[in-house]
């Protein structure tokens, strides 16, 4: 007699039981990897705390360095017709760099240390400071442009015209048409390189037409072509 096979019935779970099962699985995984998860979470929290502290400290340093920088600049350029106190300004700018060298004000103070030396009639000392800045802040294009411009003036004060041209050219490349362009035009003009001088004067006139620099440049440029008929060339035969 053949045996009758009983049908196996698959137990169907209710949605609530399925959710409980999934939750239990997640819980099991969490307990299995709890230590690793806690370590990772702790590291994330520590990084966030460190970043927050860094930015708070940096903001505080910028504020404090700004106050010191203002005091230094007041000695450098007191305004109101008062005489500058360059030794005091130099000391204060150096204090800004020493205490807050990693701030924006600290970087600008480095430039003004060079400027102060230049104002004191020490172009070689100024150039030393400017050179150090170009190496330390190689990625700060705008500030570098300002520094190369100041280097140009320092080289002129030291009687090094060729080096001044190089410095002004770098400044123009970094920050565009401006004071460095005008100084290049003047240097080329004085050296007899009229073609380069006229080229620079024209750039100033075209790019900065409303500036005082453009007014000077236009006095050096030939009169513009207003459409008048050009005179016939000598010896030209009528055809």
The answer on pLDDT for 54 being more than 50 is: no
Per-residue pLDDT tens digits for 176-197? 999 999 999 999 999 999 999 9
The answer on pLDDT for 219 being more than 70 is: yes
The answer on pLDDT for 123 being more than 50 is: yes
Higher pLDDT, 64 or 97: 97
How large is the average pLDDT for residues 209-214? 94
Q: How far is CA 67 from the centre of its chain?
A: 21
- From 77-81, 113-117, 220-224, the region with the lowest mean pLDDT: 220-224
How large is the average pLDDT for residues 130-145? 95
Mean pLDDT of the chain, nearest integer: 82
How large is the average pLDDT for residues 223-229? 57
What is the per-residue pLDDT for 223? 84
User: Domain spans of the chain?
Assistant: 37-120
């Amino acid at each position: 007699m053949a045996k009758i096979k009983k049908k196996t019935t698959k137990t169907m779970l209710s949605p609530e039981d399925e959710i409980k099962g999934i939750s239990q699985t997640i819980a099991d995984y969490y307990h299995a990897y709890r230590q690793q998860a806690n370590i990772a979470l702790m590291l994330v929290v520590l990084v966030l705390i460190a970043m927050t502290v860094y930015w708070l400290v940096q903001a505080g340093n910028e504020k404090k360095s700004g106050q010191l920088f203002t005091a230094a600049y007041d000695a450098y350029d007191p305004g109101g017709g008062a005489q500058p106190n360059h030794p005091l300004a130099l000391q204060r700018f150096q204090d800004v760099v020493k205490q807050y060298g990693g701030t924006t004000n600290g970087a600008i103070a480095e430039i003004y240390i060079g400027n102060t030396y230049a104002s004191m009639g020490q172009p070689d000392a100024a150039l030393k400071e400017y050179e150090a800045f170009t190496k330390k802040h190689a990625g700060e294009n705008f500030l570098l442009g300002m520094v190369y411009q100041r280097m140009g003036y320092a080289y002129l004060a030291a009687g090094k015209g060729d080096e001044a041209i190089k410095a002004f050219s770098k400044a123009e490349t970094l920050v565009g048409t401006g004071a460095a362009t005008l100084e290049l035009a003047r240097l080329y003009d004085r050296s007899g390189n009229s073609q380069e001088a006229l080229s620079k004067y024209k750039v100033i006139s075209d790019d900065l037409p409303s500036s005082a620099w453009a007014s000077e440049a236009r006095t050096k440029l030939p009169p513009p072509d207003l459409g008048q008929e050009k005179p016939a060339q000598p010896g030209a035969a009528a055809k």
